Amino acid sequence: MDERYEIRIRGFLGPLLRTAVGQLRYRTLPSQSTIRGRLSDADLERLLDRLDRSGLEVVCLSCVRADSSAADGVSGPARSQDRADATSGR
């Protein structure tokens, strides 16, 4: 069964990693990026391994309950500003 996760990393997702997150939502924050979405255990392990091999530090990994207010950003599409920020590296 897939769980909803939020992964916060130090740094920014480059173009290859943004492609690697696929259908997951990503958002760029000051000096951090957040990845949110549903992942199986195997998918989570692969993503964490990919982030590690890319030299990115995972700051926080949270399993987000569906009824949690933090899950709001998971189900909706990423805002265009979030993607624009990620593309520009801000």
pLDDT tens digits, 40-75: 999 999 999 999 998 999 999 999 876 655 444 433
Taking 90 as the threshold, does the pLDDT of residue 21 lie above it? no
Per mean pLDDT, which range of 2-6, 7-11, 33-37, 78-82 is the poorest? 78-82
Q: What pLDDT is stored for residue 42 in this prediction?
A: 93
Nearest to 59 by CA among 30, 90, 85, 25: 30
The dotted CATH code for 3-70 is 3.30.70
Decide the pairing of beta strands 57-63 and 25-29. Answer: unpaired
**Average pLDDT over the chain, rounded to an integer:** 76
The CB density around residue 87, as the number of other CB atoms within 10 Å, is: 13
For residue 44, with 0-12 CB atoms within 10 Å meaning exposed, 13-18 middle and 19 or more buried, which class applies?
Answer: middle
Taking 50 as the threshold, does the pLDDT of residue 82 lie above it? no
